Amino acid sequence: MRNAYVGTARRKLRGISHVELLVAGMLLSIGLAASVKLWTFAYAVTIDTDHVGMAYNLGRQTLEAVHNAGFANVPEGTTVTYYTGAPAATADASQAMYRVTTTVTSSAVKSGVAGQAGAVPADTALRTVNVTVTLMRDNSTLYSTGTYLARGGI
Amino acid sequence: MKRSANRPPGGGRGAVLIGVLFLIVVVTVMALGIGSLAVGHRSRADTDARYAAALDVAEAGINQELVRVTGNVNDADLPPGGSGSAGRGTFLVQATMLDGTTPWDRSTAPFLVTSRGTVEGVSRTVRVKVGLFDQPADYTLFGVKAGVVDTLKGSAITIDGNLGTNGKLSFSGQPTIEGSIDFHGPDSGWASNPGGSYVVNTYPDPVVWPTVESIAAQQFPSGGLAYLATHNDNALSGIVNNTISANNGTITLKGKSGGANYYLTSVNMGGNAQIVMDNSAGPITIWCGPSGGTGTFKFQGGSAVIQSSVDATKPVRIYSAASSDIVMQGNSHIDCGIYNVNAAAKGSIQFGGTPDVYGPVITNYFTLNGTVNLHYVPKMFKPTSCGYYGIMPGTWTEVNGR
C-alpha cells in the first residue's frame, strides 16, 4: 500500500530546504560581515595602541635625555629627530615612522635670542621644554609633553 | 514500511537556520571580546601616556619654584600651594619645612618642595629637598659696574673682609685686604699690577645686585620710592621737606620697631654737625632719592646707638637711588651699610676723613682715598645672582608612586 503520508510530506517538504539554506546563508553572511567589521576595528585599534605606546616611550626617552644634558647644556630652539620604530634615531626622514620635535625656550638669555638656536640661557632663566611625537604617515600628534628646566633643578 | 528517502537530512524543521544563528552568536561574542580587549588596551595606553606626562608636569612645578625662591624668597608658594601649567597639564606646588606640613619660613635650608602634576585627570606628586647653594656673596666692599676701574689709593686703607668687583681693580699703594679679592665676570680683573700679595679668586659670571628702585618696589609694593616720598618716618625725627641741612649740632635719626624708613632728597652737613642713628628702638633705613636724582648727599658722623657688633637685628642702612655721590665725612665710628646701586648705574661712595665704617659698601664703583677702615658686617645686602636654591642630590621621591 502506498504511504499516504509520504506523498503529502513530499509536497509539504518540496523546496523548504533550499529556502532554509538561503535564509541561513543570508543571516550567516550578515553576521559574519559584522564580525569581520568588528575584527578589523579591533585590529586598527591594536595598531593605534602600538603607535601610542611607541610615541610616549619616545617622548619619555627624549625628555630624559634633556634632563640628562642638564640645564645649561640643552640647546635652545627646535630639534627634530626621526625614528623608524627602533630605539635609535634615523637620519633618513623618508623611512621614518615617527617624528619627535623638541622645542626649548629660555625666559632669559645671556646671549643670542631666546627660542633660537645658539642662545645661552641666563642662570636665572626658566627654560620651557616641549616634546611632540608625530606619526609621519598622516602628521597626527600621538603624544606631547612639556616641562621646565631650572639651574639646580631636576 | 520504509522510512521516506525524501526526508531532508537532519530531519528537523529549521535545524540549519538554528545552527547558523548559533554560529553567528558565537562568532559575534568572540569578536566583541576581541574588540573589548583591544579597546581596553588602547585605553590603558592612553592612561600610561598621561601618567608619563603628569610626571613631567610635576617636575616642571618643582623647577619653577626653584627659580621663584632663588629670585626672591618672598615669592615662595606656601601651603596650600601655588598653581601653574606646563605642557598639557597643570601643577600645584608648595614649599614646606622638612616636616612636609609647616609652611617654609623663607630662611631655613634645606626645606621641601612638593609638586603635584595633573594631565587629563591623571596626577603624580614629586617631592624634593632643596638646599641653598651659596656662592660668595658677602663682601665688605663691592664695585658693581663692569667696565670701570675701582681704585684704592694709599696704603692706609684696610678692608676687614672680602673685596669684590665686576669691573677692574687698581691699587695705588698697598692697602690691607684681610679677606680675598674676588673678580666676577669676564670683564673683571686687575687694571694694573697690584704690587702686593693678595688672595685672589676669579668667577665666570658677574654678581647681579638688585637696584635700589627694585628693592624699594619690593618692600613697598604701593609705589616703591615714589610711595616712600610721601609715606615715610621723617616726622619721627623732625625732618621736613625731605632734606637735612646743618652746620652744627646733632641730628638724631630715630629707629622704631619694625624699622623706620627715612626718605631724603638732600643731605648737606658741614661744619661740626653730626648725625646720630638712634636705633635703640629698631632698625633705620635711609632712602636717598628720587631715582637718578642729583641732590647733595653729604653725611657727617653716622655712629649708631646700638652698634651692629652688639645687636645685628637693628641695622642701619643707606640706600641711594640718586646719581650723585654719597659722601661720608668724619673721623668717627660709622655704623651703617651703604648701598648705591641704582637704575642709572651712576654715583659712587666717597669717604673723607678717617672713618671707621662698620657695614658693607656696595656701590656702582668706588675710589677710596686716605685712611679708611671698612669692617665686615654679615648679610646686610644680598645679590640676586650669587647663591641659588637647588635640589639636594638623592632626595627626589614620588609620593604615593606606583
Binary contact (A145, B384; C-beta < 8 A): no
* Residues contacting B269, CB < 8 A, separation 6+: B244, B245, B246, B247, B251, B275, B298, B299, B300, B301, B329
Burial of B401 (0-12, 13-18, 19+ CB in 10 A): exposed
- pLDDT above 90 as % of chain B: 54
Give B128's contacts in chain A (Cβ within 8 Å): 154
The pLDDT of B1-21, averaged and rounded, is 62
Per-window interface: A 22-41 vs B, CB < 8 A = 23-25, 27-28, 31-32, 34-35, 38-39, 41
- Please give the radius of gyration of chain A, using alpha carbons only, rounded to the nearest integer: 32
Grade residue A123 by pLDDT with cuts at 50, 70 and 90: confident
The pLDDT value recorded for residue B385 is 62
List the single residue in B30, B86, B396 with the smallest CB-CB distance to A148: B86
Q: At what angle do helices B15-71 and A16-69 cross, to 10 degrees?
A: 10
Question: Which pLDDT tens digit goes with each residue over B374-385?
Answer: 998 887 887 766
Binary contact (A24, B17; C-beta < 8 A): yes
Per the CB < 8 A criterion, the answer to whether A132 and A144 are in contact is yes
Phi, psi of A140, rounded to the nearest 5 degrees: -85, 145
Q: Tell me the average pLDDT of chain B.
A: 88
Give B5's contacts in chain A (Cβ within 8 Å): none
Per-window interface: A 55-84 vs B, CB < 8 A = 55-56, 59-60, 63
List the single residue in B41, B42, B57 with the smallest CB-CB distance to A147: B57
Query: Is B22 in CB contact (< 8 Å) with chain A?
Result: no
Name the one residue in this structure whose C-alpha cell is 637685628.
B313
- Among B23, B55, B63, the strongest candidate for a mutation testing the A interface, having the largest count of A CBs within 10 A, is B63
Grade residue B3 by pLDDT with cuts at 50, 70 and 90: very low
Per-window interface: A 118-147 vs B, CB < 8 A = 123-126, 128, 130, 143-147
| Residue with more model confidence, B187 or B362 | B362
Grid coordinates of B390: 637647588
Question: Which pLDDT tens digit goes with each residue over B112-168?
Answer: 999 999 999 999 999 999 998 765 678 999 999 988 899 898 888 999 999 999 999
Binary contact (A9, B7; C-beta < 8 A): yes
The pLDDT value recorded for residue A144 is 96
- pLDDT above 90 as % of chain A: 56
Q: Tell me the average pLDDT of chain A.
A: 87
* Residues contacting B348, CB < 8 A, separation 6+: B325, B326, B340, B363, B364, B365, B366, B367
The pLDDT value recorded for residue B402 is 62
Asked whether this complex has an ipTM greater than 0.90, the answer is no
Strand, helix or coil at B174? coil
The pLDDT of B11-30, averaged and rounded, is 81
Binary contact (B41, A24; C-beta < 8 A): no
Grade residue B1 by pLDDT with cuts at 50, 70 and 90: very low
- How far is the alpha carbon of B172 from chain A, nearest alpha carbon, in Å? 34
The pLDDT value recorded for residue A111 is 83
C-alpha A136/C-alpha A97 separation (Å) is 5
Per the CB < 8 A criterion, the answer to whether B117 and B126 are in contact is yes
The pLDDT value recorded for residue A12 is 52
Per-window interface: B 353-392 vs A, CB < 8 A = 384-385, 388-391
* CA atoms within 13 A of residue B348's CA, in its CB half-sphere: 15
* Residues contacting B325, CB < 8 A, separation 6+: B297, B347, B348, B349, B350
Per-window interface: B 164-223 vs A, CB < 8 A = 205
Question: Which pLDDT tens digit goes with each residue over A42-81?
Answer: 999 999 999 999 999 999 999 999 999 989 889 999 999 9
The pLDDT value recorded for residue B158 is 93
For B17, the enclosing helix (H) or strand (E) is helix B15-71
pTM score of the predicted model:
0.58
Binary contact (A146, B63; C-beta < 8 A): no
CA of A71: which chain B residue's CA is closest? B63
Alpha helices in chain A (DSSP H): 4-13, 16-69
Binary contact (B67, A41; C-beta < 8 A): no
Binary contact (B35, A13; C-beta < 8 A): no
- Among B6, B17, B67, the strongest candidate for a mutation testing the A interface, having the largest count of A CBs within 10 A, is B67
Question: Which pLDDT tens digit goes with each residue over B96-123?
Answer: 999 999 999 988 889 999 999 999 999 9
List the single residue in B48, B71, B390 with the smallest CB-CB distance to A153: B390
Is pLDDT above 80 for B396? Answer: yes
Question: Which pLDDT tens digit goes with each residue over B275-311?
Answer: 888 999 999 999 999 999 999 888 877 776 677 667 7
C-alpha B111/C-alpha B272 separation (Å) is 52
* Residues contacting B169, CB < 8 A, separation 6+: B143, B149, B150, B151, B152, B163, B181, B183, B188, B189, B190, B191, B194
| Residue with more model confidence, B28 or B391 | B391
| Residue with more model confidence, B41 or A111 | B41
Is pLDDT above 70 for A105? Answer: yes
Question: Which pLDDT tens digit goes with each residue over B22-36?
Answer: 888 898 888 889 889
List the single residue in A6, A128, A154 with the smallest CB-CB distance to B62: A154
